[in-house]
């Protein structure tokens, strides 16, 4: 299967429009060895023609223009995107649905009942799309039953419930239910290889660890290096853990788990603009390089 990383930044992207942090400022001035990143989204195909979009970011328009396989090719109105899968209802993962409203038929959207609830109440994008061609909702269960998507030939999907946080507008905020956040195991049925994708991960439970151990590639929450990164830069008082993201560098952080894995290729995604690992010449990036942990960038391709 071919995994294409459309957007590797966290909410806000890099640089973020109103941010003057050490990274955003230096990126604008050309004083940092790094590249801009759009907001969190990937796309996967086994046949190279039908692409499953994971998360629809506010940057989807530019992301489609950056990747010809998603562009119209067969009819006057057309897309290479055959279905949309959502990991959660966060703004950075769902706002692109509005941008995609001109689709000539209902979108096949795969998400949990908890995300569906947010999308019809706190952030009622599905209701709004009902005034266009609508949403053909396919419920993704949290019991880890594998499922397939018609047209997405050769791919088998499993949703894995994750401990994280529901969005600020969710009825489940601070009182999460299974399905507010899920990761996905995606297996290529011909090669037998699998990817584990989890852009928002607050706690690595044993069940999640097993999926990570078994994966050929883990593409995992790279939001922050330290839990207090936002307050450290004077941005806000929220810690990453309050937002449902596990930091990389602390004891019990993401790096410690990644270091314990022997099988998979390890790649960080959903990287916040404050994260020092965005600077390719930073000490933090060197720590990752030495550990064999990759930092994703927009346009990166993974074949497995
Ligand atoms: C998150 O990942 O926690 C959210 O996308 C934050 C946001 O709303 O930007
Ligand atoms: Mn996010
Ligand atoms: Zn910034």
Residues 148-193 pLDDT 10s: 999 999 999 999 999 999 999 999 999 999 999 999 999 999 999 9
Q: What is the pTM of this model?
A: 0.98
Residue of 221, 243, 273 to mutate, ligand 1, most atoms within 8 A of C-beta: 243
Residues 7-25 pLDDT 10s: 999 999 999 999 999 999 9
Pick from 27, 4, 194, 25: nearest CA to 81:
4
Residue of 167, 172, 221 to mutate, ligand 1, most atoms within 8 A of C-beta: 167
Ligand 1, atom 5, residue with closest C-alpha: 11
**Ligand 2 center from residue 40 Cα (angstroms):** 7
pLDDT of residue 11: 98
**Ligand 1 center from residue 100 Cα (angstroms):** 20
Q: Identify the segments of the chain with pLDDT beneath 70.
A: none
The CATH number of 2-303 is 3.60.15.10
Per domain, the residue ranges of the chain are: 2-303
**Ligand 3 center from residue 131 Cα (angstroms):** 36
Angstrom CA distances, 216 to 136, 210, 219, stand at 32, 12, 10
**Ligand 2 center from residue 187 Cα (angstroms):** 24
Pick from 304, 299, 302, 301: nearest CA to 7:
299
**Shortest-distance atom of ligand 1 to CA 40:** 5
pLDDT of residue 26: 98
DSSP 140-173: PPSS---B--TT-TTEEEEEEE-B----TTSTTT
Ligand with an atom nearest the CA of residue 32:
3
Ligand with an atom nearest the CA of residue 233:
3
pLDDT of residue 24: 98
């Amino acid at each position: 299967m071919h995994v294409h990383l459309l957007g590797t930044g966290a909410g806000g992207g890099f640089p973020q429009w109103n941010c003057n942090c050490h990274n955003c400022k230096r990126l604008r001035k050309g004083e940092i060895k790094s590249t801009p990143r759009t907001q969190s989204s990937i796309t996967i195909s086994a046949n190279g023609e039908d692409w499953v979009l994971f998360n629809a970011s506010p940057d989807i328009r530019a992301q489609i223009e950056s990747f010809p396989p998603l562009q119209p090719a067969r009819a006057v109105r057309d897309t290479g995107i055959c279905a949309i899968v959502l990991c959660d209802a966060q703004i950075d993962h769902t706002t692109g649905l509005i941008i995609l409203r001109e689709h000539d038929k209902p979108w096949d959207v795969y998400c949990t009942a908890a995300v569906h609830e947010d999308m019809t109440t706190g952030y009622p994008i599905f209701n709004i799309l009902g005034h266009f061609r609508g949403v053909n909702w396919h419920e993704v269960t949290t019991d880890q039953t594998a499922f397939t998507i018609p047209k997405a030939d050769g791919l088998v999907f499993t949703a894995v419930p994750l401990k994280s946080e529901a969005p600020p507008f969710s009825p489940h905020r601070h009182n999460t239910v299974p399905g507010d956040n899920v990761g996905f195991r995606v297996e290529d049925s011909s090669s037998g290889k699998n990817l584990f994708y989890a852009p928002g991960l607050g706690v690595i439970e044993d069940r999640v660890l097993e999926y990570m151990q078994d994966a050929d590639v883990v593409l995992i929450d790279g939001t922050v290096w330290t839990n207090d990164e936002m307050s450290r830069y004077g941005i806000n008082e929220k810690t990453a853990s309050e937002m449902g993201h596990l930091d990389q560098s602390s004891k019990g952080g993401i790096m410690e788990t990644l270091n314990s894995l022997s099988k998979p290729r390890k790649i960080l995604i959903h990287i916040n603009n404050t994260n020092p690992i965005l600077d390719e010449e930073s000490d933090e990036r060197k720590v990752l390089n030495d550990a064999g942990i990759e930092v994703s960038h927009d346009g990166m391709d993974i074949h497995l």
